Amino acid sequence: MTKNFEDTMKDGFDLSNFGNLSDDEWSERNRKAAEFDRYIEEMQREPDDRFFPRIRLPKHLQAMAFKSYDWSRNAEMNAGEYARIRKYVESFSEDGIAKRGWLLMGDVGVGKTHLCTCMFTMFARRSFSAIYVTQAELLRSITMLTSYSDDHIIYDRACRDRVLIIDDFGFGIGDNETHLAHMLHLFECRYGKLTFLTSNMSSPDLIASAGAQIADRIKQLCNMATLSGKSGRK
């Protein structure tokens, strides 16, 4: 089913040839569009007990929502970044379109995972395929690519799913040439998809760990923000 609906997005909404379509072709395109809209409505009503396992979102993150985020915490330090994130969310709510994800960097406990998870689930509710992974899970999955373990499926999905979040991104990527090569391939696969990343590393440290090639691709795929302040964890 996923492949059929991916084809619907490619074939049903590409209007580059609209002037040459026959009545029958227009009718078929409209039928596909209506079918796609019905499918999206069904996905938005998907029960949480099916939705969260499908996207692999851990239990402790499932209740995270924009309304429960403490925007007043560290507000003076992060006012500009908060404004950018809110504008992004409001724009999506109005037109349902987003071309880039986010990389949120900064101090431990300032709410990077909370905000990124909220944006990720917002899109995952409207997507055929979405997956949450940590950096450690991803590197372990890369290690298992040549084995008979099903763990490699995580990496495969991270490459192809339409919406991806990598939590704690950056650590350990540059420690192994195989990891580095596969992570570069992953980001090359992410063009045309939405990618969300959180990292406790600063921008220079992230570039040093992930390498200039990966960092350059992330700049194209993601908006970037650095959050500062005291940890809100108790």
Specify the pLDDT at position 10. Answer: 42
Instruction: For residues 117 and 90, state if they share a domain.
Output: yes
Instruction: For residues 61 and 155, state if they share a domain.
Output: yes
- pLDDT greater at residue 9 or residue 180: 180
Half-sphere exposure of 56 (CA within 13 A, CB side): 19
The answer to whether residue 153 is domain-embedded is yes
Instruction: For residues 78 and 183, state if they share a domain.
Output: yes
Specify the pLDDT at position 5. Answer: 43
Instruction: For residues 27 and 123, state if they share a domain.
Output: no
The answer to whether residue 234 is domain-embedded is no
| CATH number of the CATH domain containing 158 | 3.40.50.300
The predicted model scores a pTM of: 0.79
Strand partners, 198: 104
The answer to whether residue 232 is domain-embedded is no
The answer to whether residue 188 is domain-embedded is yes
The answer to whether residue 95 is domain-embedded is yes
Instruction: For residues 160 and 207, state if they share a domain.
Output: yes
Q: What is the DSSP string of 40-94?
A: HHHHHT--HHHHHHHHT--GGGTT--GGGS-TTTTHHHHHHHHHHHHHHHHHHHH
Instruction: For residues 101 and 158, state if they share a domain.
Output: yes
Instruction: For residues 12 and 107, state if they share a domain.
Output: no
Instruction: For residues 151 and 121, state if they share a domain.
Output: yes
Per the structure, how many domains does the chain have? 2
3-state per-residue secondary structure call for 121-160: HHHHCCCCCEEEEEHHHHHHHHHHHHCCCCCHHHHHHHHH
Residue 2 has pLDDT above 70, yes or no: no
Report the first-to-last Cα separation within the chain, whole angstroms.
44
- Mean pLDDT over all residues of the chain? 84
Q: How confident is the model at residue 194 (pLDDT cuts 50, 70, 90)?
A: very high
Instruction: For residues 174 and 71, state if they share a domain.
Output: yes
The answer to whether residue 233 is domain-embedded is no
Strand partners, 132: 165
Q: How confident is the model at residue 19 (pLDDT cuts 50, 70, 90)?
A: low
Instruction: For residues 22 and 132, state if they share a domain.
Output: no
pLDDT one-digit tens code per residue, 125-174: 887 799 999 999 999 999 888 666 666 789 999 999 999 999 999 988 87
**Structural domain harbouring 35:** 2-42
pLDDT one-digit tens code per residue, 24-82: 877 777 777 666 556 555 656 788 999 999 999 999 999 999 989 989 989 999 999 99
The answer to whether residue 136 is domain-embedded is yes
Specify the pLDDT at position 28. Answer: 76
